[in-house]
Structure 1
Amino acid sequence: MQYLYKLLAIENSELAQLLRYSLYGLEASLKQAQAEYPHDPGAKVCDEVLQEIHHLLQVKEAAIPVVGCVNALNSTESKLDYLRAAFESDSELSLYLGDAPLYSQTDSDLWNEIHRKLLRVPEDLAEFWRQRALDLAQEVGALAQFTGGIDNSQLYHLPFIRDEIIYPGLSGTVISPGLCLSQKALEQTKIIPEYASEELTLLASFLVLLVKFIEIEPELHHALKSVFSFDVIPLHSQPEQKIQYLEALGDRFHRTKKAEETTDPLLMLRAWIDMDEAIHSLIFVPPAERYSWWGKLQQESRRALKKVVAIATNAGYEVRIRQLTGIYADICALTKDDLQLDCGGIPGEVLTCLRVYARINNEEIPGRVIFRSSR
């Protein structure tokens, strides 16, 4: 490893550039293979290999311009600089994403970083920027890969209950994979229990989807109280917290599965509330806008939770749940151990509801939110 680091750090070295391109290609191939073979006996070791590759690619890139066929491998001479500058200067985007600059150093990574950020902003703004990004990419000879359907090799597959192209990849002068949801990838995980209900199937798909999304998104945080109750924690820079969050997510899913097997409506409801909290506690900073792609995805868990509430109500239990939104002062009596941020949203308002408030018969179960400080 030490000699790989040394070579990558050498400026004006064509050999260093060749090694870097090879590492990017190897990283992309391994991630794609993981999506296709999630139960391969080498999966855990592969995670460690990918982590080593990631650290290697953090070494400062060599500055030499490269000619010839390098364009097909994303030359270090960026073709999407104008896209980067336009994106970073948009004041409306900064309201939802904060002021942190884009970190990507290659066109391929930049295309993915921008489109993943767009998953956190309101859908109309995201759609405007998807089209603008496509127009700017086409101006420099890059082509969006919409053709080929969900099995397109230019797409990184995330397992879920439906097929959906989240954003396209690029070919031509810039080669970059896109992102999609894939039923086939979910089936290959074999995680869905036999005869599982529609609601439990959704939770199983959330479990594997979030595990995969954490692998490709370095800006995710968690705010799960049972893991760490005092702050919002970045997963990328604190791997031990990432492990604990994933363990808690898996444990809550298995408890929900066992509760469904008992057919006890109250056990099912309590387990579902805990699992829903774990799903909504995977956040960005600032938290994603409620009507963004990410916000709508998480809301699918809340809609399923309402079905579980209906099952308990039909069984004769008095149940009320409430998703907490709006002005924080109006709902703080229904919460406990809330967190505050000084970015995103409107000062004094709830940024995201981590855990719903619940009243089951005569028992009150506090909710939990993240709110914007009023200062």
Structure 2
Amino acid sequence: MQHLHQLLEIENSELAQLLRFSLYGLEASLNQARTQFPLDPGSKICDEVLEELHNLLQPPQQNTGWEDASDDLKLSHLREVFDSDSELNYYLGNSQLQSTTDSDLWNEIQRKLLRVPEDLAATWRSRTLDLAQEVGAIADNSNLYQLPFIRDEIIYPGLSGTVQTQGLCLYQQVLSNPKNAQGNVSDLPAAFLFLYMNFIEIDPDLHHALKSVFSFDVIPLHSKAEQRDQYIDALSDRFQRTQKAEKNTDPLSILRAWIDIDEAIHSLVFVPPAERYSWWGKLQHESRRILKKVADEAINAGNEVRIRQLSGLYADICASSKDDLQLDCGGIPGEVLTCLRVYARINQEESPGRVIFRSSR
């Protein structure tokens, strides 16, 4: 394990990334097999192996030794203005920032900005850099924690100077067939699978609302390790089913598999859910964009298909949805906060959608 740790910690190493992807695949396969064979004589040791893999795949701590006490933060003013901003509270709820070091505080704030409308996020990102410069810290795009996806993108910068911390970026990684073009139907499910595995590890605010795992509530993943593993297993299983459907080339099988994996992708949520035109909302919409293309291909093959993303007033769409969840924070009372599963009508067969909505009280 020592040498695995050493290789995984090497920055900008293709070999390290290949190892990380292989270990994620092994973890997902073992989790799935563990569920299928609960009485297997190797189940106890398998659980220990899974725990070792989980610990091995933990990302490096994003602070770099700046162990400031919470009452001695260089960025304390940034914390105060962020927590007291009413517009941010509208989108993020009234939860206060939890970080106790400057490094963690920078990353916590920047991750939260991924959930608010992009224009508001841009304004606040500029403001955070100004406030950081006031205490001697400057933006640093050379020290970034990398998340594999289908494109290169700096999500937010790190800092150097009096506060030193990593930023966050996406980097383009071939995850399925190297011949596939960027954004190909076959690439995107794998990209989301590996991206989500990484994001779940670094963002303690993430929840899931996937009905096949738990249908009655929105569940925090940071404090519910079993739910976290079950959600990742379900996402991995739907990814594999999407691959099998595409190999069979039947348009309706591909469409149904894509509806299922799109649901799993959109069921990784925050409380309240990210705003539709935020960075996070636009990221998840990439799945809906591909789903529309898959639906169009089924229509061109002679099928009658209607796909509808449910939004607006909950009273107007509730007849097209089932097993919905409600929250008492975020958005406008009585409106849909996010569409977890699209409504589908395929050759006269209806499949209800599923949403999270804001209670009207």
Alignment TM class, shorter chain as reference: 0.7 to 0.9
User: Which of the numbers 330, 334, 352 marks the counterpart of 1:344?
Assistant: 330
Alignment RMSD: 2.5
Sort the Cα spacing of 1:352 and 1:311 in 2 relative to 1 into closer, same or farther, 3 A.
Answer: same
Indicate the residue corresponding to 1:47 in structure 2: 54
TM-score by length of 2: 0.84
User: Which of the numbers 183, 192, 201 marks the counterpart of 2:176?
Assistant: 192
Letter paired with 1:360: I
Letter paired with 2:176: I
8 A Cα contact 1:166 1:179, kept in partner: yes
Indicate the residue corresponding to 1:255 in structure 2: 241
8 A Cα contact 1:35 1:157, kept in partner: no
Q: Distance in 2 between matches of 1:298 and 1:172?
A: 34
Indicate the residue corresponding to 2:100 in structure 1: 105
Letter paired with 1:232: V
8 A Cα contact 1:32 1:156, kept in partner: no
Sort the Cα spacing of 1:111 and 1:268 in 2 relative to 1 into closer, same or farther, 3 A.
Answer: same
Partner secondary structure for residue 326 of structure 1 = coil
Partner secondary structure for residue 331 of structure 1 = helix
Q: Distance in 2 between matches of 1:361 and 1:290?
A: 30
Q: Distance in 2 between matches of 1:165 and 1:52?
A: 18
Q: Distance in 2 between matches of 1:196 and 1:222?
A: 30
Deviation sequence 1:36-80 (CA, Å, 0-9, x none): 7414669963632576998xx9xxxxxxxxxxxxx9732513100
Indicate the residue corresponding to 1:202 in structure 2: 188
1:67-82 equivalent positions in 2, closer than 5 A: 73-76=65-68, 77-82=72-77
Indicate the residue corresponding to 2:116 in structure 1: 121
8 A Cα contact 1:141 1:172, kept in partner: yes
Task: Tell me the number of residue pairs that the alignment of Structure 1 and Structure 2 aligns.
Answer: 323
Q: Distance in 2 between matches of 1:365 and 1:81?
A: 50
8 A Cα contact 1:203 1:253, kept in partner: yes
Structure 2: which 5+ residue stretches go unaligned?
1-5, 28-49
Sort the Cα spacing of 1:111 and 1:266 in 2 relative to 1 into closer, same or farther, 3 A.
Answer: same
Sort the Cα spacing of 1:72 and 1:359 in 2 relative to 1 into closer, same or farther, 3 A.
Answer: closer
1:347-366 equivalent positions in 2, closer than 5 A: 347-366=333-352
Deviation sequence 1:131-168 (CA, Å, 0-9, x none): 0100000110101013xxxxx3x100000110000000
More displaced 10-residue stretch of structure 1: 323-332 or 198-207: 198-207
Indicate the residue corresponding to 1:306 in structure 2: 292
Deviation sequence 1:185-233 (CA, Å, 0-9, x none): x23xxx4146557111112111111111111000000000000000000
8 A Cα contact 1:318 1:361, kept in partner: yes
Indicate the residue corresponding to 2:129 in structure 1: 134
Matched, 1:320 2:306: yes
The offset of 1:30, in angstroms, is 8.0
8 A Cα contact 1:115 1:167, kept in partner: yes
Structure 1: which 5+ residue stretches go unaligned?
1-25, 58-70, 147-151
Sort the Cα spacing of 1:35 and 1:342 in 2 relative to 1 into closer, same or farther, 3 A.
Answer: farther
Partner secondary structure for residue 350 of structure 2 = strand
Q: Distance in 1 between matches of 2:22 and 2:150?
A: 21
Letter paired with 1:174: V
Matched, 1:168 2:157: yes
Q: Distance in 2 between matches of 1:321 and 1:192?
A: 27
Identity score, percent: 66
8 A Cα contact 1:347 1:373, kept in partner: yes
Letter paired with 2:302: G
8 A Cα contact 1:169 1:178, kept in partner: yes
TM-score by length of 1: 0.81
Larger radius of gyration: 1
Q: Distance in 1 between matches of 2:271 and 2:187?
A: 29
